[in-house]
Chains A and B, each alone.
Chain A
Amino acid sequence: MAGLNLKNVYKKYPNGFVAVKDFSLEIEDQEFIIFVGPSGCGKSTTLRMIAGLEEITSGEIWIGDKLCNDVAPKDRDIAMVFQNYALYPHMTVYDNMAFGLKLRKTPKAEIDKRVREAARILDIDENLDRKPKALSGGQRQRVAMGRAIVREPKVFLMDEPLSNLDAKLRVQMRTEISKLHQRLQTTFIYVTHDQTEALTLGTRIVVMKDGIIKQVDAPGKLYAEPDNLFVASFIGSPQMNFIEAKADKRGDDVFLTFGNSEVILEKAKADKIIEGGYIGKDVIMGIRPEDIADMNTVLDVEKDKYTPIIANVEVTEMLGSETFLYMVCEGNNITARVDPTCEAREGDDLKIGIEKSKIHVFDAETELTITN
């Protein structure tokens, strides 16, 4: 078991492409860290640099108290599981799991002990004599995990290991990976582009874009308090709504105006707008779909929590436990996740309420959050 420390790590390829820029991150022992971001953001490259599969251009990678910049992958005490793994078709499950250890010339008795222990943990001990083609998708995935577990690494690295599985199996394996982390009590670093995986698995999430860390936080905080427009837009499904607006002050109140509509900010957020010198300037307002309500369904005692605007309903989607409204307000598309009792229909002009405490405001130029 070990923590990791990445200090100012850069990766520049010979063709000039810079995949990772100034990546600094301290990972505690036994943490479950997720690297998430769009395709090409540098998350897999970072993982491969930690593994030693890619040389780093500059910076330092520490695993435990050992500087690993020039340490070969096999000497880093790590094990990896990748998306496109291949099980060796003519070998039994036992031999597949033992193969890596055999290459490392591990004694037979030790290999046997580790393979059987890993098979027990993964609940595939009944299948050790079977060939891969006789296994289900989930069992094959477990064998792939088993190949990593038998190495007894200090750190597990996983690069989108569930991406090739169907949706149902992915959910099942997600739970199993979480259990595995609890059972092994080891550091896990997991790369995904799937935010659901990121939010459900990670103790901390590293959001990346263009090779840069945009935010590192616990899932809840990342969702509720994004540091910038990118994180706000990337995390959450459906995506946060964004509206270009102007900050205005009338009396003690601060408003965000767009077209003929306006929303009033609560005092704490208003103070930050004033302190930041944003009055009279363009900003971007962000509001998550679930923080918008149909004002017809809001109780009177709760009405003060909301600032109302009128939006035209274009599409409604009734999902049973909730209803999605796709609306337009002053030329801006707005998605709302509202109570299923909402009776709005396509074409209606609906009074919707924006929950004041949940409004995010971003600097239009730097795209950084103003109101956190």
Chain B
Amino acid sequence: MVSNQILQNTIDGLKSITRRDFSILDDDARVVATTIEGTIGEYRLEVEDFINSHADSQEMQGNHYFKIFDEYTVEYVIAIKGEDEEAYKLGKLAAFQIKNLLVAYKERFDKDNFIKNLLLDNLLLVDIYNRAKKLHIENAVRRVVILVESYHNRESNIPEILRNMFPDKTKDFITAVDEKSVILVKEVEEGKDIEHISNTARIIFDTLSAEEISNIYISVGTIVDDLKDVSRSYKEASMALEVGKIFNSENHISTYAELGIGRLIYQLPLQLCQMFIQEVLQGKTIDEFDEETLNTVNKFFENSLNVSETSRQLYIHRNTLVYRLDKLQKQTGLDLRRFDHAITFKITIMVSQYMAYMEQNTFSQQYN
């Protein structure tokens, strides 16, 4: 419901326009906001009688009072100082203003609630369409879910910044279903693809960084065409966030569509991973390879096993790269210039990263 602070701001604004004092009382006849100093929390017996009466407005003790309804029950009473005709008119306007504020807040709260339930699969299909229609949310529109996580999420201004970046409340929704991350359900224009959304994620990352929010991770689900599939995009983004942190943590942004085999490895049982590493590296671990070798290998993979391009990007001579690959072949028996050997070593690196992440997580859980 509307906070007392919002009500206070509203009547302060009204006072600065009309030069009249206003007070807002709750349904227990206590003052919750007022422009008259020292009266907050004050109980007014005569207002309780007014609330219980059939009248919508009443003039009492130098004030005009007006009821503000939510559906059919009295939510607030607004009082304006003065007994003249103008005070009556201004009081009615103020009551109308507060009533609209309640409607807007309720709608927003309902939308937020709806989106949360949609993301968590808490709605029946028929309810999705019925409620969406009532809330004026279009059904057949392309949407994508973007998740934003920061270590210091709770005290940060991420939701406020996102609302300012994407101010169209009829198209983009910003919500949260846990304390870890903020969710952006974003409408995607026709013709825009996932690359465009990745760029949007990059803009979010840079904007949050410029607003001094640290340790940000962003993930992107796939674009869906129907409202009922938004929860799928959310699940994909959630997985992309975790998988991205394991295999691609230095990039801070991961998209589900680009997770590749990381998505499969993420679901492997640890025992199977250990057996695989044992078989491929014959008792060694990936940490035993020096950084230069691993950097070279990663760059070689990035460049689709192209020796010339890799040596160019590493600013090393082609022969130096060949020497490093030969050295690795002696150590592991894997010739990375062969596709099947390359994929085995690539999976070995990724499985090792996954195991290290799981060990770290288990350790953190034990000691937190």
Q: Given A53-B215, A81-B210, A17 and B205 touching (CB < 8 A)?
A: no
Q: Give chain A residues whose Cβ lies under 8 Å from the Cβ of B203.
A: 84-86
B206 and A100 within 8 A (CB): no
Q: Tell yes or no: A209 within 8 A of B by CB.
A: yes
Within B230-245, the residues touching A (CB, 8 Å) are: 245
Question: Pick the contact of A99 from B164, B209, B294 — CB < 8 Å?
Answer: B164
Q: Given A53-B215, A54-B215, A86-B203, A18 and B209 touching (CB < 8 A)?
A: no
Q: Tell yes or no: B97 within 8 A of A by CB.
A: no
Q: Tell yes or no: A74 within 8 A of B by CB.
A: yes
- A209 and B315 alpha carbons, distance in the complex (Å): 9
- Which of the 9-residue segments B85-93, B139-147, B173-181, B246-254 touches chain A? B246-254
- A192 and B216 alpha carbons, distance in the complex (Å): 22
Q: Give chain B residues whose Cβ lies under 8 Å from the Cβ of A45.
A: 250
A82 and B249 within 8 A (CB): no
Q: Give chain A residues whose Cβ lies under 8 Å from the Cβ of B250.
A: 13, 15, 17, 19, 45
- Which of the 9-residue segments A1-9, A88-96, A166-174, A301-309 touches chain B? A88-96
B249 and A14 within 8 A (CB): yes
A55 and B165 within 8 A (CB): no
- B contact patch SS: helix
Q: Give chain B residues whose Cβ lies under 8 Å from the Cβ of A51.
A: 209, 212
- Which of the 9-residue segments B74-82, B266-274, B352-360 touches chain A? B352-360
Q: Give chain B residues whose Cβ lies under 8 Å from the Cβ of A86.
A: 165, 203-204, 206-207
Q: Give chain B residues whose Cβ lies under 8 Å from the Cβ of A19.
A: 250
**Smallest beta-carbon distance B54→chain A, Å:** 44
Q: Give chain B residues whose Cβ lies under 8 Å from the Cβ of A18.
A: 291
B212 and A74 within 8 A (CB): yes
Q: Give chain B residues whose Cβ lies under 8 Å from the Cβ of A74.
A: 212
Q: Tell yes or no: B157 within 8 A of A by CB.
A: yes
Q: Give chain A residues whose Cβ lies under 8 Å from the Cβ of B207.
A: 82, 84-86
Q: Tell yes or no: A230 within 8 A of B by CB.
A: yes
Q: Given A83-B206, A84-B206, A86-B203, A15 and B356 touching (CB < 8 A)?
A: yes
- A308 and B206 alpha carbons, distance in the complex (Å): 52
Q: Give chain B residues whose Cβ lies under 8 Å from the Cβ of A229.
A: 315
B157 and A85 within 8 A (CB): no
**Smallest beta-carbon distance A135→chain B, Å:** 17
**Smallest beta-carbon distance A71→chain B, Å:** 11
- A18 and B216 alpha carbons, distance in the complex (Å): 18
Q: Which of B164, B215, B248, B352 has the most CB of A within 10 A?
A: B164
A100 and B165 within 8 A (CB): no
**Chain A contact patch, size range:** 35 or more
Q: Give chain B residues whose Cβ lies under 8 Å from the Cβ of A81.
A: 210
B164 and A80 within 8 A (CB): no
Q: Tell yes or no: A316 within 8 A of B by CB.
A: no
Q: Tell yes or no: B295 within 8 A of A by CB.
A: yes
A82 and B356 within 8 A (CB): no
B248 and A15 within 8 A (CB): yes
**Smallest beta-carbon distance B249→chain A, Å:** 4
Q: Tell yes or no: A233 within 8 A of B by CB.
A: yes
Q: Given A14-B245, A15-B353, A19-B250, A82 and B206 touching (CB < 8 A)?
A: yes
B167 and A88 within 8 A (CB): yes
Q: Give chain A residues whose Cβ lies under 8 Å from the Cβ of B216.
A: 53
Q: Given A53-B215, A55-B215, A15 and B167 touching (CB < 8 A)?
A: no
Q: Tell yes or no: B211 within 8 A of A by CB.
A: yes
Question: Pick the contact of B167 from A48, A90, A159, A233 — CB < 8 Å?
Answer: A90
A84 and B360 within 8 A (CB): no
A15 and B215 within 8 A (CB): no
- A53 and B286 alpha carbons, distance in the complex (Å): 29
Question: Pick the contact of B249 from A13, A38, A89, A210 — CB < 8 Å?
Answer: A13
Q: Tell yes or no: B8 within 8 A of A by CB.
A: no
Q: Tell yes or no: A32 within 8 A of B by CB.
A: no
What string of 1s and 0s marks CB contacts (under 8 Å) between B188-232 and chain A?
000000000001001111110111111110000000000000000
Q: Give chain B residues whose Cβ lies under 8 Å from the Cβ of A99.
A: 164
Q: Which of B248, B315, B360 has the most CB of A within 10 A?
A: B315
Q: Given A15-B248, A38-B313, A89-B167, A52 and B356 touching (CB < 8 A)?
A: no
B214 and A54 within 8 A (CB): yes
B357 and A14 within 8 A (CB): yes
**Smallest beta-carbon distance B112→chain A, Å:** 19
B164 and A53 within 8 A (CB): no
Q: Tell yes or no: A268 within 8 A of B by CB.
A: no
9 contacts between A and B (CB under 8 A): A14-B249, A14-B356, A52-B212, A53-B209, A53-B214, A73-B212, A82-B210, A85-B210, A99-B164
Task: List B residues at the A interface (Cβ < 8 Å).
Answer: 157, 160, 164-165, 167, 199, 202-207, 209-216, 245-250, 286-287, 291, 294-295, 313, 315, 352-353, 356-357, 360
The 5 closest A-B pairs by CB, nearest first: A82-B206, A73-B212, A84-B206, A88-B164, A90-B167
Task: List A residues at the B interface (Cβ < 8 Å).
Answer: 13-19, 38, 45, 48, 51-55, 72-74, 80-86, 88-91, 99-100, 103, 144, 147-148, 159, 209-210, 229-230, 233-234
Given contacts A15-B250, A80-B212, A90-B164, 13 further A-B contacts (CB under 8 A): A13-B249, A13-B250, A14-B249, A16-B286, A16-B356, A55-B214, A81-B210, A83-B206, A84-B203, A85-B210, A86-B206, A88-B165, A209-B315
